[in-house]
Amino acid sequence: MVEAAIVLPVFLTLVLGLLDLAGAAYRYNLVSELARRGVREAIVHGSQAPPRRVALGPQTWTATAAAAGDVPTAIRSLLAGIEPAEVTIRLDWLDGNNAPADRVRCTVTLPYRGATYLLSGQQMTLRATSTMAIAN
């Protein structure tokens, strides 16, 4: 019984730590996919976008996934169990223009509070960036 009293807390700490790490890895992968989808939506909203699409850029654009618009809508579909107001989206036009072949970068941030948040009260900010050339 003494051995169990020593080993059990260590074992539970390791298991909870691994679950917390797995949750953070899942969320980081999700944030990376959100950045990819955000930039993919932005590259079809360049200066030569079809009339049914609103052109974006070249000024910096920042919003949450809860905002209205094509980019937040494209991102919101993946946010099962995540509050859209917590997800921040930022679009930057790296070449200072929104013409075809110019680059646009999407940065997505999401706060992550895992099991360690209950113990320490600290949260991690997960951030991912994706860059693509404007298509039209």
Look at residue 118 in the predicted model and tell me its pLDDT. 66
Per the structure, the complete domain to which residue 27 belongs is given by 2-133
**Between 32 and 115, whose confidence is greater?**
32
| Number of domains making up the chain | 1
Mean pLDDT computed over 45-72: 86
Residue 93 burial class via C-beta count within 10 angstroms: exposed 0-12, middle 13-18, buried 19 and up: buried
Query: How many beta carbons lie within 10 A of that of residue 81, not counting itself?
Result: 4
Q: Which tokens sit at 136?
A: 């039209």
Kindly tell me if the per-residue pLDDT of 129 is higher than 80: yes
pLDDT, tens digit (0-9, with 9 covering 90-100), for 90-100? 999 999 888 89
Kindly tell me if the per-residue pLDDT of 119 is higher than 80: no
* Per-residue confidence band for 132, with pLDDT thresholds at 50, 70 and 90: very high
> What is the pTM (predicted TM-score) of this model?
0.85
Look at residue 124 in the predicted model and tell me its pLDDT. 86
The 3-class SS string of the chain reads CHHHHHHHHHHHHHHHHHHHHHHHHHHHHHHHHHHHHHHHHHHCCCCCCCCCCCCCCCCCEEEECCCCCHHHHHHHCCCCCCCHHHCEEEEEECCCCCCCCCEEEEEEEEEECCHHHHHHCCCEEEEEEEEEECCC
Q: 10-43 in b/e burial notation, b at 16+ Cβ within 10 A? A: eeeeeeeeeebeeeeeebbebbbebbbbbbbbbb
pLDDT, tens digit (0-9, with 9 covering 90-100), for 61-75? 999 999 998 899 999
Look at residue 13 in the predicted model and tell me its pLDDT. 84
